[in-house]
Amino acid sequence: MIAAWQKARNKQPTGFLDGDQQQMLTKEAAAAVEKYDAQQKAIEDEKRLFLSDDSRRLVQVALTSLGFDTRDQSGEFGPRTREMIAAWQKSRQLPETGYLDETQKLKLDGEGAPGIARFNSEQQKSKDEKKAEMAAVGLSGAWYGKLLDNWTADTDRRDLVVVDETTCRWDLPKQGGPGFAMSCKIDGAAGTIDLVTGAGSAVKLRRNGANLEGTLRLKDGGKTYRVVFQREPFAPASTGSSAQSLPHGTWRGDIQAFRYGEASRELAIYGIGFCRWGFVRNTPPPSARACAFDEASRRLTLTASDRSIVRLELKGDVWDGSIELIDPSGQSPVHQIVMKRVQ
């Protein structure tokens, strides 16, 4: 390899280094190591931002609106997006790493704000149009359901709201919230609705006259129950003991000693096995997550959208616990958090 290095620099390929060549190689190696270290630091700086898919999507929107076309707004940072980040950095006399640190992210957000606003407006317009289309086929809006076949896990009542052709809300009734947003597949012509609940149950419904009828199959090939939905609520049903044990409402708190952006978090519990977790400032509300509550220990566990693990213990009316940040670099810092009820 020494001979190859010498040949590439028009030196006699002897395979042995003289004094001048030794100094040249050392200088080149130092520059390469410095460049490598700078790139690794840039990668780590971006990891610490814990960018969600939506945040990544808006980065792509901002870049494209500024003339750095990522050709993709999926939220996945592929080679083209990295190339465009580097091009934007070069045009702003910043290190061309292809990765963003906190200062650069804020700068890009500011420059791309008009483009982001247009994107959000277009997205909302598209949602409104789809919502109107769903109303026209008679499936949109609120439905009130009842699980049959001796359902005993909790209350046998369910609420379903069809928002548009790809979004539904599903929850236990009267739990203080609008239900948990989730993907669903609507076929207006066939009058069918297919969705998977936050607990992993598969729901298949079909329009039958004024009602919706179908099945709910428990996760991992479990038992299947019949379910019927109508436009008016069924008579109130008693709830199981687990429904009584898990408190419902909204709590807020700050992650202690948190240096990776916004520290405030919100936890909302509307139904058994379902929580909402996210930033307090988010609109619409934080994303729906499956969560596990152990009645004996009064402990709740959930995994956030950035794969961080939240572990909380209910002490009176306060959640006290920790959040373990899952860093792709292998580090998983744990921060304490105390959450107090706000409603």
DSSP per position, 146-160: EE-S---SS-SEEEE
Q: Which residues of 174-207 are buried (b: 16+ CB within 10 A; e: fewer)?
A: ebebebbbbebebeeeeebbbbbbbbebbbbbeb
Q: Which two tokens stand for residue 203?
A: 């729901």
Confidence band for 67, pLDDT divided at 50, 70 and 90? very high
Confidence label for 286 from pLDDT (cuts 50, 70 and 90): low
Average pLDDT value for residue range 79-107: 93
Which range among 140-149, 261-270, 309-318 shows the weakest confidence by mean pLDDT? Answer: 261-270
Is 0.75 topped by the overall pTM? Answer: no
The pLDDT mean for the chain works out to 81
Fold of 246-341: Lipocalin (2.40.128)
Residues with Cβ < 8 Å from 29, sequence gap 6 or more?
A: none
Question: Are 193 and 139 within 8 A, CB to CB?
Answer: yes
Q: State the pLDDT confidence band at 285, using cuts at 50, 70 and 90.
A: low
End-to-end CA distance of the chain: 69
Which part of the chain has CATH 2.40.128.620?
A: 138-238, 246-341
The region that residue 144 occupies, defined by phi over 0 for left and psi between -120 and 50 for alpha, beta otherwise, is beta
Q: Which fold has domain 138-238?
A: Lipocalin (2.40.128)
Closest to 167 in 3D by CA, of 183, 187, 143: 183
The pLDDT tens digits for 129-140 are 766 766 666 788
Among 44-58, 165-179, 246-260, name the one with the lowest average pLDDT.
Answer: 165-179
Q: How far apart (Å, rounded) are the C-alpha atoms in residues 243 and 293?
A: 11
CA distances 142 to 86, 163, 164, 192, 235, Å, are 47, 9, 12, 15, 16
Identify the band that residue 309 occupies on the pLDDT scale cut at 50, 70 and 90.
Answer: confident
Looking up tokens 């000693």, which residue turns up?
Answer: 257
Query: Would you state the pLDDT for residue 119?
Result: 92
Structural contact between residues 254 and 264, judged by C-beta atoms closer than 8 angstroms:
yes
φ, ψ (nearest 5 deg) of residue 240: -75, 175
Residue 159 sits at φ, ψ, to 5 deg, of: -110, 140
State the Cα–Cα distance between residues 293 and 295, nearest whole angstrom: 6
Least confident of 12-21, 267-276, 311-320: 267-276
Q: Phi then psi for 154, rounded to 5 degrees?
A: -165, -160
At residue 263, the pLDDT reads 82
Q: For 92-113, what is the mean pLDDT? A: 93
- Average of pLDDT values for 277-302? 72
